[in-house]
Amino acid sequence: MKVLIVNTADISGGAARAAYRLHLALLSEGIDSQMLVQNKQTDLASVHGPGGRLQKLRAMVSAVIEGVPLRRYPGRSHTLFSPALAPSGTAVERINAEKPDIVHLHWVNGGMLRIADIAKIEAPVVWSLHDMWAFTGGCHYDEHCGRYTDFCGQCPVLGSNKTADLSHRVLLRKIKALENKPQLTIVGLSRWLAESASDSTLFHERRVVNLPNPIDTRTFSPFDQTKARELFNLPPDKKLILFGAMGATTDPRKGFRELSKALELVSTEKVELVVFGSSKPSEPQGFQQTVHYLGYLSDDAALRALYSAVDVVVTPSRQENLSNAIMESLACGTPVVAFDIGGNADMVDHKRSGYLARDGDITDLADGLSWVINHENRQSLANHAVDTVRTRFDSKEVAQKYINLYTEVISQ
């Protein structure tokens, strides 16, 4: 069986890292897995980047063109919106030239693929959804509007009150394009996203399955906390709360505002905050707690040490699919506090491996942080967290589930 995984990047970003981990897991199971990306950073031979300067230039131009239609919506929000109208160069030709048995799409924005290109892929397609973009009119998260169950339009992400706006036109393009691709199976990485896809106008008649991302539980496992704190020069005698995300302090969806307010309700005695994914801002953020800014981390060994260094990880996102940070933290034995939204409940067992606060309830989020920090038996939380990940998300087990899905799709 030959599988071709397609993602915009190989390791840059959460979706890329998840797709890359699946690629490695399939290789470990003896599958002929190849990966096609637009932005290659690894030196793995089975990962294929742009074939020369011309393809790299095309990718850069496509990414720029993607932003042009958005200029007509100056009131749009900070949520990412991808029209996917720019030419995608030779991506489809390269996909078909590989002659795979299965093409497994992941995050294909940034000029990687237009929606119309998917119908041109000759092999059966499995598409893992890392956010909501595949079935919306262009937003990656819908800010709770739910209009993807109709035909979009009046898009809050665009700041539009028009029915026939860009989101409506993009969704119609998707519907028309995918009519010509019957061999398409949708994978919702979380139960929430699988249900959302099934409810959508675009995919309500498609086969939608729920399969998670894999994680290598040998790479992400508990590490000595004292040594970990020494590595990052973190205080040995404090209770440390970790918050991290790409654009952690600038993307409203990541919940930085909610976290700031929740921390006002958390005792400052012996409690400090650690932030990664963001450099120290020029202006103070107003936290009562001492804050340690660690910048961007992508190395798995560094992430393992960081998760092990802290007492709790908080992920206050208002919309979330299947957070890598939550899965990685639990695998390292560190409890997680999050809102009970999206795919968080797929990973966090309330008051067993962490705390799930009521959606948007800042007081409950603060209570969750205090509950974990002051827990009398932290080791029991750590043990359950590790067991949860090893049981539900270990790369070997998850890879076999994907192999079974591929085999079933091919046989049909």
Q: Helices 324-331 and 300-309 sit at what angle, rounded to 10 degrees?
A: 70
How far apart CA 353 and CA 344 sit, in angstroms, is: 12
| pLDDT value at residue 250 | 62
**Residues paired with 209 in a beta bridge:** 187
Long-range CB contacts for residues 86-91, cutoff 8 Å, separation at least 24: 86/61, 86/62, 86/111, 86/114, 87/58, 87/62, 87/114, 88/62, 88/112, 88/113, 88/114, 88/117, 89/55, 89/58, 89/59, 89/62, 90/51, 90/55, 90/58, 91/6, 91/36, 91/38, 91/117
How far apart CA 368 and CA 200 sit, in angstroms, is: 33
Q: What is the token pair recorded at 409?
A: 């799709």
How far apart CA 35 and CA 102 sit, in angstroms, is: 12
DSSP code at position 273: E
Q: Which helix (H) or strand (E) holds 128?
A: strand 125-129
Q: What is the token pair recorded at 181?
A: 């691709």
Backbone dihedral region of 19: left (phi > 0), alpha (psi from -120 to 50 degrees) or beta?
alpha
| pLDDT value at residue 6 | 98
Give the closest residue to 214 by CA, choosing from 37, 392, 386, 338. 392
Instruction: Report the topology of domain 2-214+394-411.
Output: Rossmann fold (3.40.50)
Coil/strand/helix, residue 161: coil
Along the chain (412 residues), what's the average pLDDT of each consecutive run of 10 residues? 96 93 97 95 93 69 80 92 82 95 96 88 97 97 96 97 96 94 96 98 97 96 97 96 73 82 90 86 74 87 97 95 96 98 97 97 97 95 97 97 98 89
**Residues paired with 240 in a beta bridge:** 272
How far apart CA 375 and CA 283 sit, in angstroms, is: 34
**CB 110 within 8 Å of CB 169:** no
Coil/strand/helix, residue 347: helix
Enter the CATH code of domain 225-392. 3.40.50.2000
How far apart CA 128 and CA 3 sit, in angstroms, is: 14
Q: Give this prediction's pTM.
A: 0.93
Element counts in the chain: helices (H) and strands (E): 14, 13
| pLDDT value at residue 110 | 86
Domain boundaries, the chain: 2-214+394-411, 225-392
**CB 242 within 8 Å of CB 310:** yes
Length of the chain in terms of residues written: 412
How far apart CA 402 and CA 411 sit, in angstroms, is: 14
Give the closest residue to 104 by CA, choosing from 22, 10, 217, 205. 22
DSSP code at position 189: S
How far apart CA 368 and CA 375 sit, in angstroms, is: 10
Triad 118, 124, 129: Cα angle to 5°: 60
